[in-house]
Structure 1
């Protein structure tokens, strides 16, 4: 919520003059861009006091001046990762003002700045942004019908036991380390499994468990030939296959096979998971499976996967159609947002 704007003396006099001229209070508030309650209190106070100045407020006065407040905001915006202690030290060097770290945080809160976890995104090299911008420029005018002909695919690695910072616990003071409020951490996430899947607006392939390293030959023989190509044939001659630039996907045997099979393949910019809607689908699938099962104890990864494999398949097939419709329809917005950021990051 933005900080409440205070009227200066000239604006208060103007507000009283407008009100005396018959301008409604709501219109006065709109002209000055303040809450109507500010104008109501002002016009109620003026007949009693005959002045527009605010009454002297009780309480402790601020230890910083408006100039120092603006400096605190500027220091935080110049270095977004600077802690309150660093900003406090920089302010003391610049103005010889010694205030607490909590005061620094209070001033930043007044400017609507909050400490948050940074968004995690791939690192771009100089070639990535132009490639992303070019891709979005080519596809930003695609219709929903055109996007409905794209089969989006990807692999995802599911860690069987991890803390994704979504877990919260209810606890009282002094209960931080009791068993009921501790999230146990298992080395390397307790193991992981990799699955492959693909979907379009009206089609979805079965999930495929990728065991071991995925090579170009395995990608062709175990995924493309039995799963992806038949689905593309069901979609019709206008179907387009999308996969990323992982090394197995761009192997020569894979390129030759797709060309011989007559598959239309979409050119995909590197480091662009935010443009691929299947990433959101993996997150939804992970939430559903974890919602049905507590984190498993450390055991054999293969045994755990066999226990969860049927449920992953069932949850994948049970994902409602509205999710697929929403994700496919979001492609135009993704392209617009990426193009507006000059090929930079999007919120997806």
Structure 2
């Protein structure tokens, strides 16, 4: 059976192996389509899983098969479709029939068989498998509509009437409508139909294990190329350079060839009446176990002429040897010094051994009181006054200690229960439930609720009780007012762009406006002072009405750095906004080397979305990123505005013109690394989108 592929960090791969892989991940790992045996196994195992009734889920999700990414391959060889959850407020997902599942499964398997091929290429399949796919997909016409180019158009020079005439000559194709029919067709092709469940499960399990082994091997090739120096050849330097030139596709192709040789090698043995059947032993072994079985059973491999002319024969032979070295190294053996043997079972001791053990035990003697202890003096017959004078204690203290000894036979401190709780457990549950439903409930309201219930407590007692329940009084965050449409728009944007690559975000030019006050950030500041020195001028922060004046700024940035910063004079309307874009947008894009195909981002302010502005952007051939309303937490430029305001507040501007000058100086000082970190580095923007999805479209900390 296939053993676990978990490895330690010493083996050079600290990844945690997944419990499931999608068929699309398998195809991307091999960069080539699956073979026919794997296609038969996928059909059989998926139908076997779908045939068993499944209980309804809490989320109301349904199982659908859209493409190879919807088919999941588990470690034990089980194949199941991916479940689509219905977590939106819209109408529930329509139920899917068994016939539709069979048809979509056939289309997905057909896509996996043609994966990576050009539209002009067509793979030649065996008649049995091609007939099965056609019957599952409902005939040639349905198959081409589902898995074709996706544009819904027919091929040039191909007539529908001619197709109907050909189908009339060949006979109507009877579609397969149930899972049982698919399993029956998959079983009938085997020499021994009784071994179909075990065989197809072993094929899927081998595909899962070999995919993980291949991913580990490719990571090892990429991260540890110095191991290639161990390959022996006629010209080591030349071999090294040629093997380093092998690409990902070449390594995967060589891997598949070697697995095929290990699994279907030539065995020199007597001629048998029946054909050699590979069911199901060959697929139940890992690559390392197959190699060991070849050595034990003396399986020989005949050398054959290399068919692929793009890779030299000598390089391919060396690459095969390197892959075999990797397979041999997969079961890491621990040093003998690190192996922990199980303790031997304890044998029942004889009577002689038990007697010797009792003799060897240490005798525990009772402690003897020192002559100066209180208990010794009391037992000696001295009075409490005499004991107190001798030990320097009061008579009452000595009497209390003696009474404690007479009662508890000890003078140590006894455990005490402490003061009883003022709020009963039911009262704690009541106030916890109240603040959970309404977090804005004050401590005074909770004191009144408990007082009406017959319990009189103070506000600190309320705080202590709630703190024990994990609840802490904090300042509420101020966020934009969100309507239901805003929440759905934010959630839709996050789901749509969650899997976008970093290259897409590098092409985005983020823009926004902000207000800069002359007297900086009006946040709470803490100072170190003595008592009664609160109003010392050094310990106060002077304030003026309305911030002492302010200016409005427009700015933009990308992952490569900050663009131009423009001061808005007067009230901005649509015409002024277009003028600002004309003067600052293209110079910023050229300075940041955005290249072709960059995208502009702005919020849904009416000045930005009026018809004249949209026509101006269309005339200038500027692409615009669709943006949800009331979503400042999705715009990373807000972090740059915060950084700008903090730095400007440190410089104490004298007037508005000085404030404008300082803002532009600090804006230019923002390093490009900070801009890249907000968009691409460590996938910070993806974390922002994930937090929006986790919070169901509401505001987040970003």
User: Under TM normalisation by the shorter chain, which class is it?
Assistant: 0.7 to 0.9
Q: Give me the whole-angstrom Cα distance separating, in 2, the residues matched to 1:162 and 1:322.
A: 25
Does 1:73 pair with 2:424? no
C-alpha contact 1:162 1:185 (8 A) present in aligned 2: no
What residue number does 1:205 align with? 563
1:90-101 paired onto structure 2 within 5 Å: 90-93=449-452, 95-101=453-459
Q: Give me the whole-angstrom Cα distance separating, in 1, the residues matched to 2:536 and 2:498.
A: 53
Structure with greater contact order relative to length (CA < 8 Å, sep ≥ 6): 1
Q: Alignment partner for residue 687 of structure 2, among 307, 328, 333?
A: 333
Does 1:272 pair with 2:631? yes
Distance 1:242 1:115, change over 3 A: same
Q: Secondary structure at the match of 1:141?
A: coil
C-alpha contact 2:510 2:637 (8 A) present in aligned 1: yes
What is the CA RMSD across the aligned residues, in angstroms?
Answer: 1.9
How far 1:58 sits from its partner (Å)?
Answer: 5.5
Q: Which structure is larger by alpha-carbon Rg, 1 or 2?
A: 2
**What TM-score does the superposition give when structure 2 sets the normalisation length?**
0.39
C-alpha contact 2:509 2:598 (8 A) present in aligned 1: yes
C-alpha contact 1:149 1:235 (8 A) present in aligned 2: yes
1:161-200 paired onto structure 2 within 5 Å: 161=519, 164-200=522-558
Q: Give me the whole-angstrom Cα distance separating, in 2, the residues matched to 1:112 and 1:166.
A: 26
What residue number does 1:231 align with? 588
Q: Give me the whole-angstrom Cα distance separating, in 1, the residues matched to 2:694 and 2:620.
A: 37
What residue number does 1:253 align with? 612
How far 1:319 sits from its partner (Å)?
Answer: 0.8
Q: Give me the whole-angstrom Cα distance separating, in 2, the residues matched to 1:160 and 1:112.
A: 41
Q: Give me the whole-angstrom Cα distance separating, in 2, the residues matched to 1:317 and 1:258.
A: 27
How far 1:283 sits from its partner (Å)?
Answer: 0.2
C-alpha contact 2:511 2:601 (8 A) present in aligned 1: yes
What residue number does 2:696 align with? 342
Render the CA deviation track for 1:27-60: whole Å, top value 9, x for unaligned.
xxxxxxxxxxxxxxxxxxxxxxxxxxxx733543
Does 1:120 pair with 2:502? no
Unaligned regions of 5+ residues in structure 1, if any?
1-54, 297-303
Q: Secondary structure at the match of 1:317?
A: helix
Q: Give me the whole-angstrom Cα distance separating, in 2, the residues matched to 1:80 and 1:239.
A: 45
What residue number does 1:8 align with? none
Render the CA deviation track for 1:68-110: whole Å, top value 9, x for unaligned.
22222222222211111111111222x3111011100111222
1:83-94 paired onto structure 2 within 5 Å: 83-93=442-452
How far 1:231 sits from its partner (Å)?
Answer: 3.0
Count of paired positions: 285
Q: Give me the whole-angstrom Cα distance separating, in 1, the residues matched to 2:505 and 2:596.
A: 14
**What TM-score does the superposition give when structure 1 sets the normalisation length?**
0.77
Q: Secondary structure at the match of 2:516?
A: strand
Q: Give me the whole-angstrom Cα distance separating, in 2, the residues matched to 1:195 and 1:142.
A: 30
1:134-153 paired onto structure 2 within 5 Å: 134-153=492-511
Unaligned regions of 5+ residues in structure 2, if any?
1-413
Q: Secondary structure at the match of 1:124?
A: coil
